Chain A
Amino acid sequence: MTHDEPAGILADPGAILRAAGDALTKLDPRRMIRSPVMFTIEVGAALITGLAMARLAGQPGAEHPAFIAAVAVGLWATVLFANFAEAMAEGRGRAQADALRKTRSDTLAKRLTAPRREAATEAVSSTQLRAGDHVLIEAGDIVPGDGEVIDGVASVDESAITGESAPVIRESGGDRNTVTGGTRMLSDWLVIRITANPGESFLDRMISMVEGAKRQKTPNEIALDILLAGLTLVFLVVTATLLPFSMHAVASAGRGEPLGLAVLAALFVCLAPTTIGGLLPAIGIAGIDRMVRANVLATSGRAVEAAGDVDVLLLDKTGTITLGNRQAASFLPATGVTERELAEAAQLSSLADETPEGRSIVILAKERHGLRGRDVEALGATFIPFTAQTRTSGVDLDGRQIRKGARDTIQKAVVAAGGTMPAEVNRICDDVAKAGATPLVVIDGTRVLGVIELKDVVKGGIAERFKELRAMGIRTVMITGDNPLTAAAIAAEAGVDDFLAEATPEAKLAMIRRYQQEGHLVAMTGDGTNDAPALAQADVAVAMNSGTQAAKEAGNMVDLDSNPTKLLEIVAVGKQLLMTRGSLTTFSLANDVSKYFAIVPAAFGGIYPQLGALDIMRLHSPTTAVLAAVAFNALVIVGLVPMALKGVRYRPLPAAVLLRQNLLVWGLGGLLLPFPCIKLLDLLLAACGVP
């Protein structure tokens, strides 16, 4: 995950200059009409500019030409600042795309000159591999790309992707013949044929999307646009009807002047929801951009929004809830064997075992019994590594043949060698399995020493995270291939709300449908081809980039890090996007109150001087009052650009608390903030000698 904010961009003069240039080209009315609010302001700006020019050319009129020109400048500034905000957001997306190009994963692959193990190899970057290339992968290697197994049998650790903690066997032929890029070989070797070209990857597609800037409005944006357009319309009527109203008032009061067009335009731009109208596109672009920064490619802005709505998360056990691999938790000796004796044998058998499980056994032996690691070579021992054929591993030392492995494999080996499996060891194995762990039996020749308990280790802090999610109203469901006993034990430890054990693709799909039937929105991650139906059904479906093509096509997001925990972040980004929109809308609307207090007394003071009582800010003059309100209205857009790009602060809290806090900050803040600001701008204008 790369979260390093390109912090420089807001302070980067180059980016600001480019955005300023873009802001000008965006004045094209054909582009402006996409935002009804800003389009009407642009029309108003053009109108008032025309009026100012006519007045300067000598046309008669009541308003001072300089005042009209100043209002025109204010209107243009409002439009330009809004365009600038959008351009800044787009610029940030472009910068992100450039950065992504550099971070395309790059591992070294052994390309074969012919599809045989014995053929000569050359070391090439994985990015140079083409579909059809043949590659040799050996124990310890990272699989350089998606491919099909041509030759060999090997165990592969796919836990980071598949959610299965046990190593899987991959072999040529049959339905276990695909390997996924990013997985790790544990034993043996494979020859694979690469199936995807570079350039067809999701990373490439994402880069083109971020740069394309061809953005469709999301449903929520459309609904908000309708709200803003409606408000714009009513405020247009409010200001337009003030002309006849003021004419009537002048006629009956016998003094003053009907309102001029410049004052009406100024009132309109102040009342129309320009703050949110101007920042809306920037907020949307920035939301997608934040997803990209979390290394998630969303196929649409709609998917990002839906992420904020999700209230059921289907989480794969392995990698999300538990660490990727099981770890040794205890030594359970058979009768007549001390725990230390068992630990010693287990340690010996694992000294040269590079699997995560093997290493965890050595660590446990050291922690529990102070057994130090020894050099297998120096002991003169022969290490028997785990292979797919024997399914056991161990060590031959001083005539001893220590082996460890799954119960059934070991039992066969013991019986074959003329021994028996003690009933007591079988009982221990059953107990371990019931507690949700995996038993590993250790033998020395035919003597059964005891059992190593391998446990899934729940990630630190994950239970707290689920608690937060619960407070936000999001249910967590653990998906695992484990048996129900194991699943229940881990589910209880992790504190998820529900679990699905022995999960099959069909069971997953049925579960998603059931939740949706109850009115929930479901998010899940998946990678395998058999996940595709469930991914297609889920409301937010995050496919791992290392997953199969079918999975990626069925999902509406792809996580480039292939990190199942990412789902939690995706939800946060979605919520933050919506919250930013809502908060700035509230702020924008609450702003209107103060502007009435600035403009109404200024506009009508000539007709009814007693309305000066409404001028609670005690502004310098009607001219400065109107200009200060217009200036505030334009400047507040610029002031909120960082907020639109960064998003409002997001915390996982219940809706009632979030509403209270945001309403306090953006509602009450929006109501009060303009008063001192307009007063300040008024003082500034007066100090500059504006009459």
Chain B
Amino acid sequence: MMTGAWIEVAAILVATALAAIVIAPWLAAVFPMDDAPSGRPDGNRRLDRWLDAISGPVLRAAGVRRAEEMTAAEYGAAILLFHAAGFVFLLVLLRSQAVLPWNPDGLPAVPWLIAINTAASFVTNTNWQSYAGETTLSPWSQALGLTVQNFVSAASGLCVLAVLVRGLVRRDSPTVGSFWRDLARATLGFLLPLAILLGLLLASQGVVQSFATAIDVPLVDGDGVPAGEKATRRIVTGPVASQVAIKQLGTNGGGYFNANGAHPFENPTPLSNLLEIVAMLAIPVAGCLAFGRWVGDRRQGRALLAAMAVLFLPFLALIVHFETSPNPALPREVDQSASVDHEGGPLEGKEVRFGPAASALFAISTTATSCGAVNALHDSFSPLGGLVAMWMMQLGEVVFGGVGTGLAGLIAYTLVAVFVAGLMVGRSPEYLGKKIEAREMKMGMIVLLVPPIATLLGTASACVLPAEAAAAPNPGPHGFSELLYAFSSAGNNNGSAFGGLSATSPFWTLALAAAMLVSRLLTMLPLVAIGGSLAAKRTVAESPGTLPTHTPLFVLLVAGAVILVGALSFVPALALGPIAEALQPRPIAEGPS
């Protein structure tokens, strides 16, 4: 029933909105904007005291002074240092896995290339996985390495947003807050409680949370086992729910199992599926609402949310439509319509317990946010369905995007839109009272341009190396889509996989790792720089001559800027991939991948 599919989609969106409304004031309290914490207006003073209490001991132990403030340069250096330390820590952990505790299956050290790729991937909140979790990583590595990075990489994304907003809110201020204080409050006072709550809810649905080792179970139909194969199957368990909760909430996306959200231990029921989609979207949406609270004008936050929605909802409708429509490759006589025993639409590569609509919604949510968890094989989507998923990443992960970083990236787009629109009304441009000048423009353009350039150059380098291009097994445009998708995912810190690609060669592991690191750091650091330069400025008074930045027209303008830079850069490449595939007179055979 197609109506049923739309109702399901609508219900999930409503649930997301409600969750975001509840979280927003909390998130707003996590990052105080003023440099004098005591002088904050009422409302969240109790929440603030609680956040201080929960993060205080850690900060005191680390020797961070309570009133510490950093300049943008110091804040940026702290972020860089924190990423470097996280990368080294994770690399050492993965390489020494064999000698570390809680390795019941006796897994060996992770190979160098995979370890580098994985360390880069989890430190940058990308969570591209060039390994299968259950056969490569011990529960120790998963819990202490990956899950910890899931928390702190998400938290540092939120920190960047906080710096940028402080730039807009503070005036004549040399400082933009303290990274350590922000990080501790975001991790311990925000992400951890949310993850515990979600983890419990997911466990209630049957997501495994266990310290037990793998279990060998006899097959139900042991007779059918071919000679020479074992009559038992090994079922891996572990601390799954705790990792899945934060992988969804922190827009990380790295699954405990190779099958990610399609694995019944990670995502067993339609309700868990709903919770996981809501968890991906809730914090980015709440970020927009919190933005309105931070800048003291709720309309500004709603406008940015509307800009995201304008880019999200039409494509949500498209991908749901494409994925619930009959596969044109099948002969007309094949009945693909919905019936009692068939959900309708193409089901290859999709989990029947979710169906095509929920799979499509999951796909666009995971690519629009920079989550990257998957509950279906994007490779098997219709060409245009795959295009939508790919395109959501290519927009630069600013439509919801990563927690913190997505909204921060959209603000960078907003600054560019304000710049041109401001000129059009005859004023040198300003956003929320801050003049947009050469420095903001320079840093903003770096934020906007690094991801598409990394994506395009990465894909091009794969194309000129025939041996590496062969990692995509499919012929024709679909094969190109697989290459383009991989670099779109890494170059925008998404981490989802199209599928099909065997990306374990030195080229692929290192090129993708480089794309992930470059994209992450060269967007975060310029955003911090913008925050610093804006904070130092005075605030220009608002008047009827000021460009209003909360109107529907402005929302369209911001969306237009995102499309112009994000989308138009990829039009020729997409023409050679999904568009050529979609327009193909006779579809090529569906790749088994």
Partner-B contacts on A (CB < 8 A): 219-220, 222-224, 226-227, 229-231, 233-235, 237-249, 251-253, 267, 271, 305-306, 308-309, 311, 470-475, 518-521, 574-576, 578-579, 581-583, 585-586, 589, 592-593, 596, 600, 603-604, 607-608, 610-611, 613-614, 650, 654-656, 658-660, 662-663, 666-667
Contacts and interface: CB of A to CB of B under 8 A. Distances in A.
Interface string B415-431: 01001111111111000
Given A234-B453, A238-B572, A663-B553, A252 B480 contact: yes
A582 B421 contact: yes
Nearest to B570: A238
Interface string B443-484: 001101100110011011101101001000001110110010
B583 A613 contact: yes
Contact of B436 (A223, A305, A576, A613): A223
Contacts of B469: 248, 251
B571 A596 contact: yes
B428 A220 contact: yes
A667 B585 CA distance: 36
A226 B456 contact: no
Contacts of A607: 576
B557 A663 contact: yes
- In terms of DSSP, what is the predominant structure of the interface of chain B? helix
B205 interface: no
B499 interface: no
B172 to A, nearest CB: 11
A253 B476 contact: yes
5 contacts: A219-B428, A233-B453, A308-B428, A471-B544, A654-B544
A245 B479 CA distance: 12
B543 A579 contact: no
Nearest to B466: A251
B569 A234 contact: yes
Given A241-B460, A247-B463, A219 B438 contact: yes
A604 B423 contact: no
A578 B426 contact: yes
B217 to A, nearest CB: 43
B269 interface: no
A240 B446 CA distance: 19
B441 to A, nearest CB: 4
Contacts of A613: 583
User: 10 closest pairs, A vs B, by CB?
Assistant: A582-B423, A473-B545, A473-B543, A575-B426, A230-B445, A582-B424, A519-B541, A610-B583, A244-B463, A473-B544
Interface string B554-579: 10010010001100110111011001
Contact of A311 (B446, B541, B571): B541
Contact of A610 (B541, B554, B584): B584
A241 B553 contact: no
A243 B573 CA distance: 11
A662 B571 contact: no
A576 B426 CA distance: 6
Interface in B532-554: 538-541, 543-548, 551, 553-554
Given A585-B420, A659-B553, A518 B583 contact: no
B203 to A, nearest CB: 46
A655 B422 CA distance: 9
Interface centre among A242, A246, A600, A610 (most CB of B within 10 A): A610
Interface string B183-211: 00000000000000000000000000000
B541 A226 contact: no
B342 interface: no
A581 B583 contact: no
A241 B547 contact: no
Interface centre among A245, A247, A518, A607 (most CB of B within 10 A): A245
Contacts of A473: 543-546
Contacts of A603: 572
Given A247-B464, A252-B475, A604-B580, A592 B564 contact: yes
B466 A242 contact: no
A108 B571 CA distance: 71
Contacts of A655: 425, 427, 544-548
A608 B437 contact: no
A273 B302 CA distance: 32
Given A576-B426, A658-B424, A252 B545 contact: no
